[in-house]
Chain A
């Protein structure tokens, strides 16, 4: 029973990271019908800017764990938010009318440029970097299960960020504007909603989630590398698609489902654990043939 709880807990933690990435994909698709494939690499940018923020605090001789964590998160969100705005302003919005395939390709190339710049311009950028320990590692027992306090805090942080994002989209003026643009951009504009500003705010919001996911990933694994966002981006995108691209709840369900598929595979076929991603992606393909518009199909859900 205790071990089952541990499987559930660790699967949930993995699922939260995937869901954070997937929600970003869903927001971008919701407002502009675009697939922003640079999203995973924006996550990498978030992780590295968080690390840079920590290093700068260290250089200043400041050793305040809680302040450091907040500062790292704020810097990561700020940098990724600005990156999201820049990508939206200079690349995606101007190409709004062009085929979706062009935007997909372009954002894929922007992502490649981001992670290659990290590799080339960060000192020793090709090598994995140790990520600082900013959370207490105290072991705790919950129902006989061994869980570390930092893992628990990361899970709470991830769920909290998702809940706040969902609340923002559902209950704030900005969220209302985002939903209006997602439903019908042209009508929203006629009704006086500043289309470009709302789109850019959505890009900032989605990218800030990637920044949080990047820092969480670094804190959980104690290590980051320039390539970390590539697979996470693909997993996040698959999660968003299987959940129902355009739906926040779909993205969350997709993220947790992907983590569950990976865990279940290893549980039943430990000797072939290297194939867990193959299994998860194959299942996603099968699910997509059953529900082509995702588990939460668009006709039953409100966009974003």
Chain B
């Protein structure tokens, strides 16, 4: 009798425990993992860390929503802005089946090198910073999307802006990665038939330290403007060595130099540098103020940098896709391919047949250690003067 009562108590306890476990399981949400890839170390890490923080902000915001379907986890991976490292990081993300999608790459040379990996392992990705057109237009991979526009958008504005300012004699210094050479090719295309003369072009290695020979040649041919197509670390070196060698031409760089670290590294030398970017100032974006406030509230150590909002938009798009169609790579890919006029903090997003979202570019000038929209600047108002005009 005592024996059978013991069995009954044990059975009841087991049933109670199992019911409890089942209940707890029902309350728990499945975790969807999203990879973030960007330069988290190295000369371009300021932009990479800003992008990572912005992606994290999107993930944390959604995790705070009690009605969400999934818990979200961001998996940050460092591509160091190096194609070989980027391929390793991309392969790591793509072969991890728990990763549903990726918010990928600031550096074009890395982004173009990794598209095959994403296609092979069927990982849907949304590019947040790289602007080389071939990333989306050079293949027919349904996995690859981009929210931040391309250098086609950017170069059009740059050419119109600089020619409008009266710069007719250019020297172009570009890095020899796909990014720099791609930009040079597009510039040549856009300038064909115009009265602008490219006096000389200089292809330089992405990790080159010394530009004295190139810049003395620039000094010799005396262009009105030096247009630089490359990323911040190289741009900083070129601008700083221009000053050392007494090259007085105006300096303009493409969006690759638009980073807070450009001002930090150059100090007062950054003043008057012209640039263009596929994004308007944060505060003027449709949801920009909300992003600025939330980013500040999150207390990140690094600023979002100009491409941060696009990392936020890309992450949010992926989260929206997962919420609607579930944590499944194929379903997320198909959902992304139908995105049309989707509201975001950077304005409506539409992926064309290449997975590319076109954006309007904005003109900027470095003023008092900040990137200021040209129209709002003291230069446009005539209170400060650019060089070489």
Contacts and interface: CB of A to CB of B under 8 A. Distances in A.
Interface string A137-151: 001000000101001
Contacts of A266: 202, 213-214, 217
Interface stretch (B62-70, B129-137, B236-244): B236-244
Contacts of A221: 209-210, 237, 240-241
Contacts of B213: 7, 10-11, 262-263, 265-267, 273, 276
Nearest to A222: B240
Interface string A35-75: 00000000000000000000000000000000000000000
B246 A271 contact: no
A194 interface: no
A126 B216 contact: no
24 contacts: A6-B245, A7-B213, A10-B213, A126-B41, A127-B45, A128-B43, A128-B233, A146-B245, A221-B209, A221-B210, A221-B240, A222-B240, A223-B237, A225-B43, A228-B209, A262-B213, A266-B202, A266-B213, A266-B214, A270-B202, A271-B202, A273-B213, A274-B205, A277-B205
B217 A267 contact: yes
Given A3-B220, A14-B212, A148-B244, 19 more contacts: A3-B216, A3-B219, A7-B216, A10-B213, A11-B212, A127-B43, A128-B43, A128-B233, A130-B265, A221-B209, A221-B210, A265-B213, A266-B214, A266-B217, A267-B213, A270-B202, A274-B176, A274-B205, A277-B205
Secondary structure type dominating chain A contacts = helix
Using C-beta atoms within 8 Å of the partner chain, give the interface range for chain A. Answer: 20 to 34
A221 B220 CA distance: 22
Interface residues of B, number: 33
A11, A146, A148, A151: most-surrounded residue (chain B CB, <10 A): A146
A223 B176 contact: no
B244 A270 contact: no
B217 A270 contact: yes
A266 B217 CA distance: 8
A204 B369 CA distance: 43
Contacts, number: 83
A51 to B, nearest CB: 15
B204 A274 contact: yes
A191 interface: no
Interface of A: 3, 6-7, 10-11, 13-14, 126-128, 130, 139, 146, 148, 151, 221-223, 225, 227-228, 231, 262-263, 265-267, 270-274, 276-277
A120 B176 CA distance: 29
Interface in B182-218: 200-205, 207-210, 212-214, 216-217
B106 to A, nearest CB: 15
B212 A10 contact: yes
Contacts of A126: 41-42, 45, 80
A14 B42 contact: no
Given A7-B216, A266-B213, A274-B176, A146 B45 contact: no
A266 B209 CA distance: 14
Contacts of A148: 244, 246
A151 B244 contact: yes
A139 B246 contact: yes
Contacts of B246: 139, 146, 148
B385 to A, nearest CB: 20
